[in-house]
Structure 1
Amino acid sequence: MNMNEETVRRLRGLIVFTVAVVVVGVNYQKLFAAAGALLKMLAPFLLGGAIAFALNVPMRFLENRLWSHLVKKESRYKRPVCLILAIVGVAGVLAVVMVLVVPELFRTIMTLERSIPQFFANVQRALEGLFADYPEIETYISSVEIDWKSTLEQIVFFLGHGAGTVLSTTVSAAVGIVNGVATFCIGFVFALYILLQKENLARQAGRLLQAFLPEKAALETARVAKLTEKTFSSFLTGQCLEAMILGSMFFITLTLLQMPYALLIGVLIAFTALIPIFGAFVGCAVGAFLILLVSPVQALIFIVVFQILQQIEGNLIYPHVVGGSVGLPSIWVLVAVTLGGSMMGVLGMLIFIPLTSVLYALLRETVHRRLRVKQEEKNTDKKLSKIDRKR
């Protein structure tokens, strides 16, 4: 049988693919271990890329908006100044949150130390009154006693001494902390290099694509990368802004209603709102529990307020702030959050929504293009059939 060069090339590729599949199937455990070791080695650089991507959003805003309006001319100091301002801004926001939240958190813990025993004592008295006609149940409820002071003292002692002793005597924990700090420092420095030279890096990446890929594939890869960057940036910006607005709304509303833990609940809901769909409800549950320990009536009012503000946020604020930044229907947002959460936890929820949005946009473009080609072919066939009938 005579085989041309194309057939030989395809057979060679099929043989290589089969051998690769067999090798992977036999040695998959070693390959997974090697992949894990490689990811561990690359962890500082992956972290640096993530930090650079997050800092690039405010830095690009400062470069394109603030610098252009105030300075109105290009300068070699533009990039370093905007980068420093972006770092200071992000660090300042985190510092303000810590300064406001940490004291409030300690006050809340001290309040809970007194309110939890009192709350359960009130519940116990209410149950005794409710089951007054049933002496056996009333006797059982009255016999339930919890030494809250001793329990809280044991928890505080463990957190203050037991956990500290374990950490101080465990070498692996100390090494893990040092490695974490070193990884963050290396990643942060790497992020600075990326941000200071991002145009050069983008140009070099483009040249690599043109050198090793066909022209059409290189252009398509660059287009997908640009779409991915735009989608992730828009999602990050919109989600953070929406979380800040929602947290401020809750803080102001709870303060006006004179409810307890207004600041703590506002910050908590702002952070949990970063997780789409499920996050705000986690904040609602924690907030309702904290207020329940003070006043059950106020807890019910808080739940009603949460539903009202959630409707305002979902129908008015979210569409205008986040809007179509991800361009993903609600059903696919739910799928993305569920899959991301099951695979990577909270981080997966944040990553999978813009990632799914990119895949959805590419699939939509492919479907429209294929349908357009089929429609053109159908129109061409109709024209040809008309010409044949005329003949």
Structure 2
Amino acid sequence: MKTYKDKIKYFDLILAVVISFILIKLINNYQIFLTSLNKIISIISPFIFAFIIAYILNPLMKCFEKRFKLKRGISLLLTYVVIILGFSLFINYLLPKISSNLLDILKSIPQFATASQEWFNKILTNKEINNLMNYSGNFDLKPDFLISKASNILSTTLNALISKTLSFTNYFIKWVFGFIISIYILADKEKFIESGKRFIYIVLKEDKGFKFINFFKNLNYMIGLYIGTKAIDSSIIAILAFIGLTLLKSPYSLLIALIVGITNMIPYFGPFIGMVIGFIINVFFSPIKALFVLLFLFLLQQFDGWYLDPKLIGGKVGLSPFWIIFAVTLGGGLYGPIGMILAVPIMAVIKMYLDKFLLRYDKGISNKEVEKSSK
């Protein structure tokens, strides 16, 4: 007669066979599976956006609750009032100026190309430069070719930027729905967190579930610490850049300052990108002014790197420059600009756990050595 344990063994065997069969079918028909998965993600994307929005707005709501001792409903209302007012100000005042600057640059590309060609021709007519080119022998510079290539690259980049901006409007309705749904998520966030914890404990059991939850707690803390302080740092740099560029009478000072602030979020590479863009935009109007803008942005980034950034972030992330550059390169290669920004806090958490693992390993070796020496 079959016992209860034998029945469980047969059931586990049947379950393993069924799961193996399903996995084989999924591997053989992975394209259909990916298509279906993309459709499902597209359908539930408003809920995904809602969780992202709720995660971003949660610190502001917690600030109202803890610092001002307000109830959840009032804190929630104030949070969304502040966000809606911020978006309204951005749409009414900043967005039209930024859009007009981008369109103006796009329209001015032929003039920039002509001015650059004239500038190159003036340089090439210089006797000393001609002698240097003739002396080198192999040097064959074709300014028309270079200018046409440069203008094509700039035009393609700006067109791609505008097309991306227009394609983003296709997600506008989903983001609006996500914004509305996020209100309900923040209102009952404790219930969602508790349900998520219970599910993790059921699937991973208590010990592994606790480690899994603890890992994401550390990740959440590190992302909040890094992104929050870096956002404050970049906002200060953007404001200082706008003031300095306005005093230097730089064209498109608001657009350049915004680019400097956004790119400053990316460690090491970001400030360089902002400086180069500011220089390129100004060089078409005045090469001398472009050099002053480049020098000003360089000094501003030195102030950020040597004083402001260490003052705000300091050594809280706990990563050496090598690991930061490695994380930014890897994150950017995999997920673009968002990956570059999130790579540093994620790498910081991974390094923290790796250090703990190595410390345990070193302790294990030292304990074994002690045991061997005592024998």
**Same fold at TM > 0.5:** yes
1:117 aligns with 2:111: yes
1:369 to 360, 365, 370: 360
Greater shift after overlay, 233-242 or 106-115? 106-115
Q: Partner of 2:43 in structure 1?
A: 41
Cα distance in 2 between the residues matched to 1:296 and 1:196: 55
Q: Partner of 1:300 in structure 2?
A: 291
Shift of 1:50: 0.9
Cα distance in 1 between the residues matched to 2:108 and 2:336: 34
Q: Partner of 1:194 in structure 2?
A: 185
Which residue identity lines up with residue 213 of structure 2 in the other structure?
Answer: A
Cα distance in 1 between the residues matched to 2:238 and 2:115: 33
Cα distance in 2 between the residues matched to 1:113 and 1:302: 23
Q: Partner of 2:77 in structure 1?
A: 84
Shift of 1:210: 3.4
Identity %: 25
Are the counterparts in 2 of residues 272 and 280 from structure 1 also a CA contact under 8 Å? Answer: yes
Which residue identity lines up with residue 103 of structure 1 in the other structure?
Answer: K
Q: Partner of 1:154 in structure 2?
A: none
Q: Partner of 1:242 in structure 2?
A: 233
Cα distance in 1 between the residues matched to 2:198 and 2:286: 65
Cα distance in 1 between the residues matched to 2:108 and 2:36: 52
Cα distance in 1 between the residues matched to 2:190 and 2:323: 34
- The 3 A distance-change label for structure 1 pair 359 and 24 is farther
Q: Partner of 1:103 in structure 2?
A: 97
TM-score, normalised relative to structure 2: 0.75
CA displacement 1:276-317 (0-9 Å, x = unmatched): 333333222221122112211010111122222112211222
Shift of 1:364: 2.0
- The 3 A distance-change label for structure 1 pair 203 and 90 is same
Q: Secondary structure of 1:275's match?
A: coil
Which residue identity lines up with residue 33 of structure 2 in the other structure?
Answer: L
Shift of 1:20: 6.4
Cα distance in 1 between the residues matched to 2:307 and 2:320: 17
Q: Partner of 2:151 in structure 1?
A: none
Aligned residues: 337
Shift of 1:46: 1.4
Equivalences for residues 371-390 of structure 1 within 5 A: 371-382=362-373, 384-385=374-375
Cα distance in 2 between the residues matched to 1:130 and 1:319: 46
Q: Partner of 2:309 in structure 1?
A: 318
Q: Secondary structure of 1:259's match?
A: coil
Are the counterparts in 1 of residues 263 and 271 from structure 2 also a CA contact under 8 Å? Answer: yes
Which residue identity lines up with residue 35 of structure 1 in the other structure?
Answer: L
- The 3 A distance-change label for structure 1 pair 132 and 303 is closer
Structure 2 unpaired stretches of 5+:
131-141, 149-158
Shift of 1:49: 1.1
CA displacement 1:86-145 (0-9 Å, x = unmatched): 2333343344344135236526755885796378347527625742779xxxxx999xxx
Structure 1 unpaired stretches of 5+:
69-74, 135-139, 147-157, 168-172, 386-391
1:217 to 205, 208, 212: 208
Are the counterparts in 2 of residues 238 and 325 from structure 1 also a CA contact under 8 Å? Answer: no
TM-score, normalised relative to structure 1: 0.72
Shift of 1:192: 1.4
Shift of 1:267: 1.9
Equivalences for residues 266-285 of structure 1 within 5 A: 266-285=257-276
Cα distance in 1 between the residues matched to 2:107 and 2:83: 34
Which residue identity lines up with residue 31 of structure 2 in the other structure?
Answer: Q
Greater shift after overlay, 89-98 or 288-297? 89-98
Shift of 1:40: 2.1
Are the counterparts in 1 of residues 115 and 284 from structure 2 also a CA contact under 8 Å? Answer: no
Are the counterparts in 2 of residues 228 and 358 from structure 1 also a CA contact under 8 Å? Answer: yes
Shift of 1:327: 3.1
Cα distance in 2 between the residues matched to 1:280 and 1:340: 17
Greater shift after overlay, 324-333 or 182-191? 324-333
Cα distance in 2 between the residues matched to 1:35 and 1:323: 42
Are the counterparts in 2 of residues 101 and 264 from structure 1 also a CA contact under 8 Å? Answer: no
- The 3 A distance-change label for structure 1 pair 303 and 205 is same
CA RMSD in angstroms, aligned pairs only: 3.8
Q: Partner of 1:153 in structure 2?
A: none
Are the counterparts in 2 of residues 337 and 348 from structure 1 also a CA contact under 8 Å? Answer: yes
CA displacement 1:186-228 (0-9 Å, x = unmatched): 3222211221111222223233333443221121122112112
